């Protein structure tokens, strides 16, 4: 296992790994929409191994850059899932980022704020602000990180998939300070067993409660139901889900696919007949991600697949 060093505010090259690994604060200035709080971040361990985080109030961006000679210019911002109550940072973040850089794609793991009235003025908008800021940071540093500013995508798992889709359907309004007028539209999105809708029929109840509260109004439900906010400008999508998902109904992905198709937005979906929520995490990462890389290649975001 490689050595991991965390030093906020600085760039550190980790020679024990075969890639650059850095963690930076998401915001250089004050975190928007935040309240003074005493919340302490909690690190989660499963079976004695690092798993993720909860009670996140200070967002960060963890940077994985491929070897410069292998870099294809494409970048992906990764949003781990966890029902907006925690973030599965290892399995749905670090493990994924390490595969991307093997394919020459830069990866950025977003540790976004988790909704809480104690840390945010408007808890439902905090994660979206962080996703927009991540896109802004990556796009503004594209040259320094050897990235094509027109090849920046976003990926999300479960509730992280909801957040990724949210960033891909609400990019025309900036919820963060953006005096530079940086483009906040991701160029593509990749959604893995995503929560899509906040409607009673489709939503994942705890994700909706954590994000919107117990009894959200119709206007708020509509705003945060991604299938209701697609336009012809929505970026292309790749989606995968299991028909046996007992946590997030596969119809979330299906209605999103149909809504994209009706707006003539390019979309590719892979449905598996077996496997519960998080099913891909039980498969070899490089194996289940191969169709994703094939899709990226067919769209010109990567030139060739590496073995």
CATH of the domain at 283: 3.40.50.1820
For residue 126, give the nearest of 31, 246, 18 by alpha carbon: 31
Comparing 152-161, 173-182, 284-293, the range with the smallest average pLDDT is 284-293
pLDDT of 3 over the 50 cut: no
Domain hosting 66: range is: 20-298
Task: Establish if 303 belongs to a structural domain.
Answer: no
Task: Establish if 15 belongs to a structural domain.
Answer: no
Model confidence over 228-269: pLDDT tens digits? 999 999 999 999 999 999 999 999 999 999 999 999 999 999
14: left (phi over 0), alpha (psi -120 to 50) or beta: beta
What is the C-alpha to C-alpha distance for residues 99 and 281, in angstroms, rounded to an integer? 13
Number of domains in the chain: 1
Task: Establish if 13 belongs to a structural domain.
Answer: no
Model confidence over 11-20: pLDDT tens digits? 333 333 345 5
Task: Establish if 14 belongs to a structural domain.
Answer: no
pLDDT of 221 over the 90 cut: yes
Task: Establish if 112 belongs to a structural domain.
Answer: yes
Task: Establish if 75 belongs to a structural domain.
Answer: yes
> What is the three-class DSSP state of 237?
strand
Write down the pTM of the prediction: 0.93
**Strand order across the 20-25 sheet:** 20-25, 60-65, 106-111, 75-79, 152-157, 188-192, 237-242, 267-272
Task: Establish if 288 belongs to a structural domain.
Answer: yes
Contact of 243 with 306, CB cutoff 8 Å: no
Model confidence over 200-220: pLDDT tens digits? 999 999 999 999 999 999 999
- Percent share of the chain, pLDDT over 90: 88
State the DSSP code for 93: I
Task: Establish if 11 belongs to a structural domain.
Answer: no
pLDDT of 59 over the 90 cut: yes
What is the C-alpha to C-alpha distance for residues 42 and 44, in angstroms, rounded to an integer? 6
């Amino acid at each position: 296992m490689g050595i991991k060093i965390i030093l906020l505010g600085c760039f550190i090259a980790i020679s024990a790994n075969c890639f650059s690994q850095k963690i930076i604060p998401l915001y250089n200035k004050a975190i928007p929409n935040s309240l003074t709080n005493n919340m302490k971040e909690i690190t989660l361990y499963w079976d004695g191994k690092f798993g993720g985080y909860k009670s996140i109030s200070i967002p960060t961006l963890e940077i994985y850059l491929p070897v410069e000679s292998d870099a294809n210019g494409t970048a992906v911002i990764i949003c781990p899932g966890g029902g907006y109550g925690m973030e599965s940072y290892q399995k749905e973040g670090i493990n994924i980022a390490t595969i991307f850089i093997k394919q020459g794609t830069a990866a950025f793991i977003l540790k976004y704020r988790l909704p809480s009235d104690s840390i945010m003025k408007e808890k439902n908008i905090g994660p979206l602000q962080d996703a927009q800021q991540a896109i802004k940071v990556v796009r503004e540093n594209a040259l320094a990180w050897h990235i094509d500013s027109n090849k920046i995508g976003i990926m999300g798992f479960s509730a992280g998939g909801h957040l990724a889709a949210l960033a891909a359907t609400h990019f025309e309004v900036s919820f963060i300070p953006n005096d530079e007028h940086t483009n906040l539209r991701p160029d593509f999105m990749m959604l893995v067993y995503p929560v899509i809708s906040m409607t009673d029929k489709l939503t994942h109840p705890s994700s909706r409660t954590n994000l919107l509260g117990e009894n959200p109004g119709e206007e708020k439900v509509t705003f945060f139901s991604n299938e209701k906010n697609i336009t012809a400008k929505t970026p292309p999508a790749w989606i995968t889900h299991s028909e046996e998902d007992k946590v997030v109904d596969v119809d979330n992905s299906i209605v999103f696919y149909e809504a994209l198709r009706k707006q003539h937005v390019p979309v590719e979906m892979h449905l598996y007949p077996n496997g519960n929520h998080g099913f891909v995490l039980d498969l070899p990462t490089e194996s289940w991600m191969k169709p994703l890389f094939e899709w990226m290649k067919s769209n010109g975001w990567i030139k060739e697949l590496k073995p």
